[in-house]
Amino acid sequence: MKRIALFLVLIAFCAPMFAQAPATDQPSRDDLLKMFDVLRVRQQTESVMQTVLAQMKEQMHGDIQKRYPNLSPESAAKLEAAINDAVNLYPVTEMLDDLIPVYQKHLTKADVDAIVGFYSSPAGQHFLDKMPGMTQEAMKTMMAKLQVRSAEYADKVEKQADELAEPKKN
């Protein structure tokens, strides 16, 4: 019985550590939309969506040409229009709306105010201006290393598969 009481006391004292920030300390929808604006979340998301759409178009175009080599230009144009509509499956506005409760759960109003304060400053704006170029430059380096390492790893796995597939000699 004492163990149960001690356990309940511990839970009572530890529960606040796991609780969500109080509603008064949560950032409002407007606070988060301001943060998203300062962080250029909408523009970045739209840019990513356009990149994904371009990749999707390229992939689907190749797949369609292989599958339907005699497709008329008119039909191909209709399919491309349908692919372009894919960007409307999950509009950016809806994505941002879906982010709000997640950010409210994990950030306080003070956090959001500090983030907005920094990223509104000249240093924060400079960082945001430079971030796409830095990311692109870093991705080139990382992708080059990843391609080499992936090829080496694929060779290793293929060799292991060959060894496992060989019939065992008695």
Span 68-105, pLDDT tens digits: 888 888 988 888 888 778 778 889 999 999 999 999 99
If we measure between CA atoms, which residue out of 59, 61, 53 comes closest to residue 92?
A: 53
> Which has the higher per-residue pLDDT, 125 or 63?
125
CA distance linking residue 90 with residue 88, whole number of Å: 5
How distant is the alpha carbon of residue 97 from its chain centre? 15
Sequence-separated (6 or more) residues with CB below 8 Å from residue 84: 53, 57
pTM for the structure as a whole:
0.65
Residue 47 near residue 135, CB atoms below 8 Å: no
Residue 12: band (very low, low, confident or very high) from pLDDT cuts 50, 70, 90: very low
